[in-house]
Amino acid sequence: MSDLRQEQALRALAPVNDPSFEDVWEELVWRGLVHVSTDAAALKELLAGPPAVFYCGFDPTAPSLHLGNLVQLLVMRRLQLAGHRPLGLVGGSTGLIGDPRPTAERTLNTPETVAEWVGRLRGQVERFLSFDGDSAARIVNNLDWTAPLSAIDFLREIGKHYRVGTMLKKDAVAARLNSDAGISYTEFSYQILQGLDYLELHRAYGCVLQTGGSDQWGNLTSGVDLIHRVEGVSVHALGTPLITNSDGSKFGKSEGNAIWLDADMCSPYAFYQFWLNTLDDDVVARLKIFTFLSRDEIAHYEQLVRDEPFRRAAQRRLAEEVTAFVHGEAAMRAVAAASEALFGAGDLTVLDPGTLRSALSELPHAEVTAGTPVLDALVATGLVSSLSEGRRAIAQGGVSLDGARVESDGAVVSGSLPGGVSVLRRGKKTLAGLFVG
């Protein structure tokens, strides 16, 4: 790896804020991470001052965090780098309920499932924060303070501060009230539970800021209002924008599947390819939000997008930075090498076996035995629709196996690449994987 690449990888693993900004608030605004806030001027002053305690919550409604959560984790990391103290809340109690969906009730998971997911999400959150130094992070679980609270105590001590009329006006609640499904009291009460979280963290740790997605704004302000009523002080909330692609499609989806941060649910190779396939119109905004590159560096890539879009330099840098941040430098290097070998001019024979198998599983693929005719493998993987089409493709010199042109339709599959696999290619860019048993 070149010195430049080493520097890039180290930056992803040990990120720093851009010192050219006056303060972290200015950087958050420039990066497009502030969609709404309680009081922008007061929040700017807070974040430019002495260390403040802030929190962000993550509900275990799945066994892994996803790209939407990554936005919040990056905001937390930036604030921590500015000297502020993060509380990562994993919602052991709110995860048992779930915040209201726009159209239908959530399926309630069992307490055992939620407890398992709490552990998995806690481990993920811990990877992105520092637990050393003056701004050391802390992980908290809201089940710790809600489980001992009786229903009567909850209604008397917390519920009395909420007005139903105000609760009904929250966007998520209003949307459900106007839907055929309506809304249960269970989900209706979610905003009270989240308000309780903020109050508890304010009392226990002096927390004065909550961050989250702008679609959670009603829940974010629930705690702000509760603390003002109960404690008589003003605290803050910051909502990040919901990220969509320039073509209007939902960000963070790949062929109908969420892009998870867990390597077992979304392989590092698939994760890398997701970023590599970013549209030109989106890549600069993604560099701002998802990397720690300085604005000068991002301006450089913005110029490259305009002048040499065919090189896709910005997309490669984006994929490298985010993959290294989420999965580590070694995984990033392995999947980048696999991508280059499969779609560029790299050497397939020197790739990490696990990474190569993972990469091929994302392509059209088939399981075959050693000695299977290449013609049969072409049909099995869908690269051709018939044996006769396969023969024509081979005769025209348009088929290769493991990087070497197939000269005869009598050729067979060997699985000679690392991990006992083979790579079929038809033309320049149509590939398939063969898992040879």
Q: What CATH number has the domain spanning 32-242?
A: 3.40.50.620
Q: What CATH number has the domain spanning 1-14+247-351?
A: 1.10.240.10
Architecture (CATH level 2) of domain 363-437: Roll (3.10)
**Which tokens hold the place of 67?**
């790209």
List the chain domain ranges: 1-14+247-351, 32-242, 363-437
How many whole angstroms separate alpha carbon 274 and alpha carbon 164?
43
Q: How much is the CA Rg of the chain, to the nearest whole Å?
A: 25
> Across the chain, how many H-helices and E-strands are there?
20, 13
Asked if the domains at 32-242 and 363-437 fall in one CATH topology, the answer is: no
**Which tokens hold the place of 2?**
């070149």
pLDDT tens for each residue of the chain, 437 residues long: 444 444 444 444 579 999 999 999 999 999 999 999 999 999 999 999 999 999 999 999 999 999 999 999 999 999 999 999 999 999 999 999 877 777 777 788 899 999 999 999 999 999 999 999 999 999 999 999 999 999 999 999 999 998 988 888 887 788 888 887 788 888 888 899 999 999 999 999 999 999 999 989 999 999 999 999 999 999 999 999 999 888 887 787 665 668 999 999 999 999 999 999 999 999 999 999 999 999 999 999 999 999 999 999 999 999 999 999 999 999 999 999 999 999 877 889 999 999 999 999 999 999 999 999 999 999 999 999 999 999 999 999 999 999 899 999 899 999 999 999 999 999 988 999 999 98
pLDDT at 256: 60
Pick from 371, 367, 383, 373: which is nearest to 431 by CA? 383
- Concatenated DSSP letters of 93-160: TGGGT-PPPSSSPPPPPPHHHHHHHHHHHHHHHHHHS--SSTT--EEEETHHHHTT--HHHHHHHTGG
pLDDT at 302: 98
- Residue 144's Cα: distance from chain center in Å? 27
pLDDT at 249: 79
CA angle 270, 273, 277 (to 5 degrees): 140
